[in-house]
Amino acid sequence: MIIIGIVIEIRCNAENRQCKRIHKHYRKVLEELITESKTRKLIVAFLVSEDAIWSCQSLYEEFDRSNGFEPVVLVTADSERSQNDYEYIKQINETYDFFKSRNMNTRYAYDIKEQRYLNLQQFCPDIVFYQQPWVIDRIQSPVVVSKFALSCYVPYTIAGTTEAMMCYPKTFLYGIWKHFIISDLLRSEYESWMLANKESLIVTGHPKLDSYNKHMRNDKHYIIYAPHFAFKNSILRLSTFDWSGQYILDFARSHKELNWVFKPHPRLKLQVIKDGIMTENEINRYYDEWGKIGMVYDHGDYFDIFKNSDALITDCSSFLSEYLPTMMPVIHLISKNMVAPNPISKVTSSHYYKARDLKELEFYLNDVIINKNDPLKERRINDISILTSDGNSASSRIVNHLKKEFQIHDK
């Protein structure tokens, strides 16, 4: 035990020294960029490994409209995936095409032919926004990037669990320059256990929710089923797919008069196979069955579907907050193994319909989806205030914050 304690202390001291070096680099880079911003636009890079969890569309657009910044998307690879995997190489190319199809400035930051991560310095970024704190190759991590650029993070999830946040790699959490979060409530949660770098936490709201400032609904009203991938062996333990997945598919088959959308977490299929819940053939058939009765949507930027839906069925913690501004009902699938939600999720999900087993699920599918009963609606509308602040978009607040840091004045 003494030896283990010594090893942990050595490791913590090494991480602390590394984080101090990173922030020393940031101070030098910031000083240089304040001067350079007077004569040129600053390049803002978004490092993305999969479009399915892309959460910064409105932020990219805000930078693109600004006088002082030039955005670019850098498509990279998940450092834990097998780079020889044909399906994953296909995903990298599809992610690139996703952004190019939107006429966004997009470049590869991973050499597929040579299976090599590219040093981001060759793209000359001044600011790098990370998509997630995990699966980042060291050459593209804040440790290396801090020598030539400032690193920022907008969480891809609006309100994940506290336990998951505490598992962020320490060199990322304490080595990031700016960490833009949704509310003061979440900042207090972070500050209660963060040992350093609390000044990086900036409350701005979340760019995902900016989508609700645009047109809301059309004539196509969807019922969305969005299962999470985290089963009982994971950190989050949110998924109920093992007991609810087939039942919901059967229910959808018996109600083809509804417009169904199957919106699985992008890692669901792999995790179902890994955890032995279904074989590869079984889960592929499951997806195919959804394709016969509705839409299978596994991309990011799904808010048009949210805005044009009548209800959501999910066990995904982030969606509990992201969906709230629609004012539509949610059947919240509850795993008996799930970890405690963070303070925002507690509030945003408090007036949803909780299904802890098949009996409760059957009741709410019929009562809420078929009979359209929604007695909690007024209380739910009141909950929306926790996600909003001064009426401005989160993206404009982030850009304005950075303009102040660089002393950029609108022309």
CA-wise closest residue to 211 among 99, 298, 106, 325: 325
Residue pair 239/161 in contact by the 8 Å Cβ criterion: no
Give the Cβ contact number of residue 31 at 10 Å: 10
**CATH classification number, 212-383, choose in 1.10.1380.10, 3.40.50.1820, 2.170.150.70, 3.40.50.2000:** 3.40.50.2000
Token duo for residue 108: 């590869």
**CATH classification number, 2-205+390-406, choose in 1.10.10, 3.40.50, 3.30.70, 2.60.40:** 3.40.50
Token duo for residue 341: 């939600």
Q: Where are the alpha helices (DSSP H) in 82-234?
A: 86-100, 142-145, 162-166, 170-173, 184-191
3-class secondary-structure state, position 411: coil
Residue pair 168/141 in contact by the 8 Å Cβ criterion: no
Alpha carbon of 361 to those of 191, 240, 286, 347, 364: distances in Å?
37, 11, 20, 21, 5
pLDDT on residue 338: 78
pLDDT on residue 405: 97
* Residue 261 amino acid letter: V
What pLDDT tens digit does each residue of the chain (411 aa) get? 444 443 334 445 567 788 999 999 999 999 999 999 999 999 999 999 999 889 999 999 999 999 999 999 999 998 777 556 787 888 899 999 999 999 999 999 999 999 999 999 999 999 999 999 989 999 999 999 999 999 999 998 876 656 667 778 889 999 999 999 998 888 988 898 898 999 999 999 999 999 888 766 667 789 999 999 888 777 778 899 999 999 999 999 999 999 999 999 988 998 999 999 999 999 999 999 999 999 999 877 789 899 999 999 999 988 999 999 999 999 999 998 876 677 788 888 899 999 999 999 999 999 999 999 999 999 999 998 888 656 789 999 999 999 999 999 875
Residue pair 356/336 in contact by the 8 Å Cβ criterion: yes
3-class secondary-structure state, position 354: strand
pLDDT on residue 127: 98
pLDDT on residue 214: 74
pLDDT on residue 6: 39
How far is the C-alpha of 344 from the C-alpha of 365, rounded, in Å?
Answer: 25
Token duo for residue 95: 């992610």
Give the Cβ contact number of residue 131 at 10 Å: 24
Q: What residue spans define the domains of the chain?
A: 2-205+390-406, 212-383
How far is the C-alpha of 65 from the C-alpha of 68, rounded, in Å?
Answer: 9
CA-wise closest residue to 234 among 266, 262, 263, 267: 267
pLDDT on residue 82: 57
Q: Do domains 2-205+390-406 and 212-383 have the same CATH topology?
A: yes
